[in-house]
């Protein structure tokens, strides 16, 4: 009986010890068990056989899936290298591409998705390596990992560095406007489609940031060629895009953005009061109150302070104030703080940063050899002016985009709510000034919850569709939506391609 009594006391003591474990300890154990569970990506049906595109024409571009430096797993079939922007003999201008065929059964013959980063002059290898490619090496991480939400699980994916002067591209930049850019891109794409026997395939063009210029002008040029045996565009998707003037997408909306995220910016009351006064005196407050409404009251007038005076340069002064409070403030994702993370591309936040002894991944000779490019000094965002005399084209929302919405099967525009580079309300204001499908702007304010089914993700923001244009506001995402919210971007790609009929 004494033994039983002792055992009972020991058992009770053990229960008390467990019960007195701090909540933080128990939560960490619970979280660790969840993190150890494998993430289940969307199912892939009818996996395609290997080397769908290996031919006499493409073999010089073939990248063995186990040959990519520091990637310790097989990424599958891919092709990379340089192709000229025209079929002219001795053409010296060439664009760089990296092509990953889809791992689904249908896509290898049916669809092509093109991804472009912005800048102008920023490499689409950023998109491949840190956003939506088959493997990811994001800032602050030890080595590359497989991407469960790689876009090549949905369609054939082509990442292209362009215009000339960007990344690994070769030749001297000479474009004057977006029409020149699109002509050179289609010249390259024609060579590429013929090399990979993909002429006339259904094509979707996607991108982010300054690709708000690139993508619409490229798709517009495809339609104007009127040759579906070669170019067959069906839709486009752009994230946090340059759609209008900087005064609209930066200056006019800067103060309301900071006010809505006061705890993140942590600016003092005196500073905020001064920014509010200037927001009102520069005419921004009245303009937003009158024109950022649903439906719009009519064609929007020229924004105030189109040529920004120092007094009305709120965007820059807010940035400088934020950097005083948070030296690691990241304009691309405003919730970031110190320390500044090491980044294999050399651009971890608001500006470039390479710690002593570190090497930029695409500057390594072993990487360049695998990708079939000559020794090159590679920059994520080039110092070269890819528009030597400036970009002479109007923003796409004021030119080609409205007509494209009518022509496309679907057009998607998404915006991360933590992006200070280009601000969500500025993009909405640009949309409210467009006329497509027989009406101007959205007739109703976007409000429908956007729900992601993967991993029990739940609501990820809101969306709204009118007349073939779908708009997304994406919670917790900065400028690079596929990087910060990969499940969201994956779902949006499925919708763009018609894999899902409704959101």
pLDDT 10s digits, 424-455: 999 999 999 999 999 999 999 999 999 998 87
pLDDT 10s digits, 327-345: 999 999 999 999 989 899 9
Do residues 270 and 398 share a domain?
Answer: no
What is the layout of strands, in order, in the sheet containing 62-63? Answer: 62-63, 78-84, 94-100, 156-161, 111-116, 202-208, 232-239, 410-416, 469-474, 458-466, 448-452
**Range from 64-73, 307-316, 487-496 carrying the lowest mean pLDDT:** 307-316
Q: Is the pLDDT of residue 1 over 50?
A: no
**Range from 32-46, 105-119, 242-256, 310-324 carrying the lowest mean pLDDT:** 32-46
Do residues 229 and 276 share a domain?
Answer: no
Judged on CB neighbours under 10 Å (0-12, 13-18, 19+), 246 is middle
Do residues 232 and 264 share a domain?
Answer: no
Q: pTM of the entire structure?
A: 0.90
Q: Which structural domain range is residue 149 located in?
A: 59-245+392-496
Do residues 344 and 466 share a domain?
Answer: no
Which listed residue (152, 415, 464, 479) is catalytic?
Answer: 479
Do residues 283 and 314 share a domain?
Answer: yes
Query: What's 468's domain CATH number?
Result: 3.40.50.1820
Contact 483, 130 (CB under 8 A): yes
Do residues 280 and 211 share a domain?
Answer: no
Do residues 212 and 259 share a domain?
Answer: no
Give residue 343's pLDDT: 93
Q: How many domains does the chain have?
A: 2
Q: Directed axis angle between helix 252-260 and helix 424-432, to 10°? A: 130
**Range from 172-186, 329-343, 459-473 carrying the lowest mean pLDDT:** 329-343
Verify whether residue 479 is a known catalytic residue: yes
Interatomic CA distance for residues 159 and 181, integer angstroms = 16
Position 306 confidence tier, pLDDT thresholds 50, 70, 90: confident
For residue 376, being part of any structural domain is answered with: no
Share of the chain above pLDDT 70, in %: 89
Do residues 259 and 228 share a domain?
Answer: no
Do residues 260 and 337 share a domain?
Answer: yes
Which listed residue (139, 209, 242, 477) is catalytic?
Answer: 209
**Range from 35-39, 241-245, 399-403 carrying the lowest mean pLDDT:** 35-39
**Range from 28-42, 160-174, 366-380, 384-398 carrying the lowest mean pLDDT:** 28-42
User: What is the mean pLDDT of the segment spanning 397-404?
Assistant: 98
Give residue 30's pLDDT: 45
Give the single-character DSSP code of 128.
Answer: I
For residue 54, being part of any structural domain is answered with: no
**Range from 24-28, 85-89, 323-327, 384-388 carrying the lowest mean pLDDT:** 24-28
Is residue 212 helix, strand or coil?
A: helix
Give residue 473's pLDDT: 98
pLDDT 10s digits, 91-133: 999 999 999 999 986 655 679 999 999 999 999 999 999 999 9
Position 354 confidence tier, pLDDT thresholds 50, 70, 90: confident
Q: Is the pLDDT of residue 23 over 70?
A: no
For residue 3, being part of any structural domain is answered with: no
Which listed residue (343, 391, 419, 425) is catalytic?
Answer: 419
Verify whether residue 399 is a known catalytic residue: no
For residue 35, being part of any structural domain is answered with: no
State which of 319, 343, 361 marks the end of a domain. 361
Q: Directed axis angle between helix 314-325 and helix 269-281, to 10°? A: 170
Beta-carbon contacts of residue 342 (< 8 Å; ≥ 6 apart): 139, 140, 348, 355, 358
200-227: b or e for each residue (b if 16 or more CB lie within 10 Å)?
A: ebbbbbbbbbbbbbbbbbbbbbbeeeee
User: What is the mean pLDDT of the segment spanning 313-325?
Assistant: 97
Do residues 448 and 336 share a domain?
Answer: no
Q: Is the pLDDT of residue 49 over 70?
A: no
Verify whether residue 391 is a known catalytic residue: no
Give residue 371's pLDDT: 99
Average pLDDT of the chain, as a whole number: 90
For residue 377, being part of any structural domain is answered with: no
Q: Is the pLDDT of residue 25 over 80?
A: no
């Amino acid at each position: 009986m004494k033994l039983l009594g002792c055992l009972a006391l020991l058992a009770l003591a053990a229960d008390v010890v467990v019960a007195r474990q701090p909540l933080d300890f128990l939560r960490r154990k619970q979280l660790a068990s969840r993190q150890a569970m494998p993430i289940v990506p969307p199912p892939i049906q009818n996996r395609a056989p290997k080397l769908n595109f290996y031919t006499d024409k493409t073999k010089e571009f073939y990248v063995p899936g186990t040959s990519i430096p520091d990637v310790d797993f097989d990424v599958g079939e891919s092709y990379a290298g340089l192709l000229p922007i025209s079929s002219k003999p001795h053409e010296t201008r060439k664009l760089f591409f990296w092509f990953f065929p889809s791992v689904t059964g249908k896509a290898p013959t049916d669809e092509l998705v093109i991804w472009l980063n912005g800048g102008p002059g920023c490499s689409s290898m950023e998109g491949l390596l840190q956003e939506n490619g088959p493997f990811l090496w994001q800032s602050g991480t030890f080595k590359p990992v497989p991407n469960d939400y790689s876009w090549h699980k949905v369609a054939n994916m082509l990442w292209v560095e362009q215009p000339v002067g960007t990344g690994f591209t070769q030749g001297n930049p000479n474009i004057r406007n977006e029409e020149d850019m699109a002509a050179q891109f289609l010249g390259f794409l024609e060579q590429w489609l013929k090399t990979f026997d993909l002429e006339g395939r259904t094509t979707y063009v996607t991108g982010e940031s300054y690709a708000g210029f690139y993508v619409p002008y490229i798709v517009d040029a495809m339609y104007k060629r009127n040759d579906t045996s070669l170019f067959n565009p069906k839709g486009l998707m752009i994230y946090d895009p340059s759609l209008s003037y900087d005064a609209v997408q930066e200056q006019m909306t800067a103060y309301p953005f900071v006010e809505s995220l006061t705890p993140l910016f942590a600016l003092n009351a005196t500073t905020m009061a001064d920014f509010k006064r200037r927001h009102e005196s520069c005419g921004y407050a009245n303009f937003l109150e009158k024109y950022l409404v649903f439906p719009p009251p009519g064609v929007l007038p020229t924004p105030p302070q189109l040529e920004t005076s120092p007094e009305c340069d709120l965007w820059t002064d807010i940035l400088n104030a934020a950097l005083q409070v948070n030296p690691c403030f990241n304009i691309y994702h405003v919730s970031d703080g110190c320390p500044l993370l090491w980044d294999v591309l050399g651009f971890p936040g608001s500006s470039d940063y390479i710690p002593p002894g570190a090497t930029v991944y695409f500057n390594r000779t072993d990487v360049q050899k695998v990708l079939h490019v000559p020794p090159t000094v590679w920059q994520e965002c080039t110092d070269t002016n890819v528009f030597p005399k400036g970009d002479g084209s109007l923003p796409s929302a004021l030119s080609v985009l409205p007509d494209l919405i009518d022509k496309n099967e679907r057009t998607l525009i998404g915006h991360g709510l933590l992006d200070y580079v280009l601000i969500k309300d500025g993009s909405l204001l640009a949309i409210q000034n467009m006329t497509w499908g027989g009406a101007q702007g959205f007739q109703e304010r976007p409000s429908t919850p956007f729900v992601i089914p993967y991993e029990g993700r739940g609501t990820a923001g809101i969306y709204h569709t009118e007349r073939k244009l779908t708009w997304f506001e994406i919670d917790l995402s900065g400028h690079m939506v596929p990087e910060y919210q990969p499940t969201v971007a994956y779902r949006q790609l499925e919708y763009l391609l018609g894999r899902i009929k409704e959101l």
